Amino acid sequence: MPRSQKLKALVLSRRNIGEADRLVTFLTREYGIMKGVAKGVRKIPSSRGGHLEPFTQVLVLVRMSRGATYIGATETETYFPQLRANGKTLTHARAMAYAAISLLGEQDPVPELYDMMQEAWHLLPKLPSAKQDVVEGAALLLVLRLAGVLPNWQNCQACGLTTPTESVVLDATQGGWHCLTCHQSLRDTKFSMSPKLIALLRYLSAHPEATTRLAVAEHDSSQFLSSLRYFMRGMLNQVTAS
């Protein structure tokens, strides 16, 4: 990366550091996840602080110095007010951002994810609830694939069954799913998926670009997303523990 470069970026998160600075996490097409220090943005006269809020698309000057990344001039391109105004759409956006930050390495180009997340931030407020769930699910699956940890969705990790006739349970510790007869605990069965939802999981893993064209009933989309979120929590716990 050049010592100084102007980039389009999606602001995923920020946290305060020191007395007046912030550490901001971006997603860019060219360099994937980037973290940079915005010096002095919490001072009252600073003009940059308002441009560095999460779920904003910005044009930002990034400067490398002595192994650290610093954020210079910043201009807001899109503020996504409708995304921010709705609690459910904001929850979807936060889940997508958290998965990307937690699982992806810094400065690894992920243009496919950048394009999907940018489109999702535009579309989520305009979509019905069921499609919102599917959009988040597709984004989580894409993050898993880009991180190189997409599980084997093709068969039961215990008996090898490929075409379940009843619900299955996603299990992050086993890297896939178990059919109910192979699953040892009743604790996780509330996050089970029907054969129809496993087919959806497989399809979205292979074809994230088709997300908004799929017709899914709301009760199915809700179960699909809650099961996938549960699986993601297990994956993130393993990453944190390792």
Whether 33 has a pLDDT exceeding 80, the answer reads yes
Q: Which whole number is the average pLDDT over 76-104? A: 95
The model's confidence at residue 1, banded by pLDDT at 50, 70 and 90, is low
Tokens encoding 170? 């996603």
DSSP, residue by residue, 43-66: STT-SSGGG--SS-EEEEEEEEET
Tokens encoding 67? 């192994």
Superfamily of domain 4-78: Nucleic acid-binding proteins (2.40.50.140)
Classify the C-alpha dihedral 150-155-160-165 as positive or negative: positive
User: Which own/partner contact pairs does 118-124 have at CB distance under 8 Å and 24+ positions apart?
Assistant: 118/10, 118/57, 120/92, 120/93, 120/96, 121/10, 121/55, 121/57, 121/78, 121/80, 121/83, 121/93, 122/78, 122/80, 123/212, 124/83, 124/89, 124/92, 124/93
Residue range 48-83, pLDDT digits in tens:
556 788 999 999 999 988 778 899 888 999 999 999
- The continuous run of DSSP H or E covering 32 comes out as strand 32-38
Residue range 123-179, pLDDT digits in tens:
999 999 999 999 999 999 999 999 998 988 999 999 999 999 999 999 888 889 988
As a whole number of angstroms, the longest Cα–Cα distance in the chain is 64
AA letter at 117: M
The span from the CA of 12 to the CA of 31, in Å, is 14
**Residues forming a β-bridge with 16:** 22
Range(s) within the chain of domains with CATH label 2.40.50.140: 4-78
pLDDT at 88: 96
Whether 35 has a pLDDT exceeding 90, the answer reads yes
The span from the CA of 185 to the CA of 99, in Å, is 26
The model's confidence at residue 190, banded by pLDDT at 50, 70 and 90, is confident
The model's confidence at residue 44, banded by pLDDT at 50, 70 and 90, is low
pLDDT at 10: 97
- Range with top average pLDDT, 13-27, 53-67, 195-209: 195-209
